Structure 1
Amino acid sequence: MPIRPLSGEDIPALRRLLDATRVFSSEEVDVAIGMMEEVVGAEEHEDYAMFSFVDDAGTVRGYYCIGPVSFSRTTFDLYWIATDPELHGKGIGRSLIEHCERYVRSNSGIKIVAETSSRPAYDGTRRFYERCGFVEEARIRDYYRTGDDLVVYTKTIEEAR
């Protein structure tokens, strides 16, 4: 099951996938789609890169968006990661994280930062990050709204050899 750079043909399927997760608001989905369109429309994009997970039938089943943190030489933000909810627990998310780690290492990075919400809808997301070796590094109370904290996870990966 290959992971490849996101293409414009992936965007409609990824919109459906993001909607199907039922955790992202319509505004969040619009932001993700806008970022995809920006990356696809650029010959080279310095702020972030996007990769799609495509199954053997050619169906897009997940994606992630990663980019270097401004003014950091070794840290990357994991802006988005999403997988087809019908296939949760099948290893797609872990494959995307492993690909992400290789991408970060190949770009001289050693740390990945992922931010998420403390809402119950994101319990599975937080457990996923923890199973993939991320640790909760910080929490900002009432960040998104009262009772909805920003939870910051980090993962330090081995330096490229």
Structure 2
Amino acid sequence: MRATGVFREDEVAVALELFDAPDAPGAPDGMGYRFVVAELAGNVAGYACYGATPMTLGTWDLYWIAVDPALHGRGVGTELMRAVEDAIRAEQGRMVIIETASKPSYDATRRFYARHPGCREVARVPNFYSIGDDKVMYAIELGGAR
């Protein structure tokens, strides 16, 4: 996560704490966080963390997705997204919600989501993270097969 250059140190700490949680990676009990890890030549190429959204029927959150910057543009992020979507479908999930920031360092992230099949921007909350840094929300409706 640090290698991406996008996440603050407190965000990295939270992500690592979740990954090191007793139910990681991906146990259905406990805190409910699930993980998908992409490997290339025996090394971690990227990972995604997701979980069911409390008090909803079939809605899930994609909490984190991070790919080694040296591997950007090689399909690792797309494969992680597909794996997350497939896993959520297998749990009868119907929707994935993704939240990210609007600051310039997240431009590539927003472009990634905007071009991902079925992913669309659904809301913005102005100045959510800080003045000038909006929360940008995306949704993917998971009907049937891709």
Q: Normalized against structure 1, the TM-score is what? A: 0.84
Compared CA separation, residues 112 and 42, structure 1 to 2 (3 A): closer
The structure with the greater share of residues assigned to helix is 1
Deviation at 1:51, TM superposition (A): 1.4
- Corresponding residue for residue 10 of structure 1: none
Q: Is the 8 A contact 2:34 2:49 kept in 1?
A: yes
Letter in 2 for 1:20: A
Compared CA separation, residues 142 and 81, structure 1 to 2 (3 A): same
CA-atom RMSD, angstroms? 1.6
Q: Deviations over 1:35-85 (max 9, x none)?
A: 001133896445220111011x21110000010000111110000000010
5+ residue gaps, structure 2: none
Q: Is the 8 A contact 2:26 2:35 kept in 1?
A: no
Letter in 2 for 1:101: E
SS of 2:64's equivalent in the other structure is strand
Compared CA separation, residues 147 and 42, structure 1 to 2 (3 A): closer
- Whether 1:22 aligns to 2:5 is yes
Letter in 2 for 1:63: Y
Compared CA separation, residues 140 and 41, structure 1 to 2 (3 A): closer
Deviation at 1:158, TM superposition (A): 1.7
- Whether 1:88 aligns to 2:68 is no
Compared CA separation, residues 82 and 42, structure 1 to 2 (3 A): closer
Q: Is the 8 A contact 1:74 1:108 kept in 2?
A: yes
Q: Normalized against structure 2, the TM-score is what? A: 0.92
- Whether 1:62 aligns to 2:43 is no
Deviation at 1:89, TM superposition (A): 0.3
Compared CA separation, residues 42 and 52, structure 1 to 2 (3 A): closer
- Corresponding residue for residue 145 of structure 1: 130
Deviation at 1:156, TM superposition (A): 0.6
Which segments of structure 1 move beyond 4 Å, counting only runs of 4 or more? none
Give percent identity, aligned residues only: 39
Higher mean C-alpha displacement, 29-38 vs 44-53: 44-53
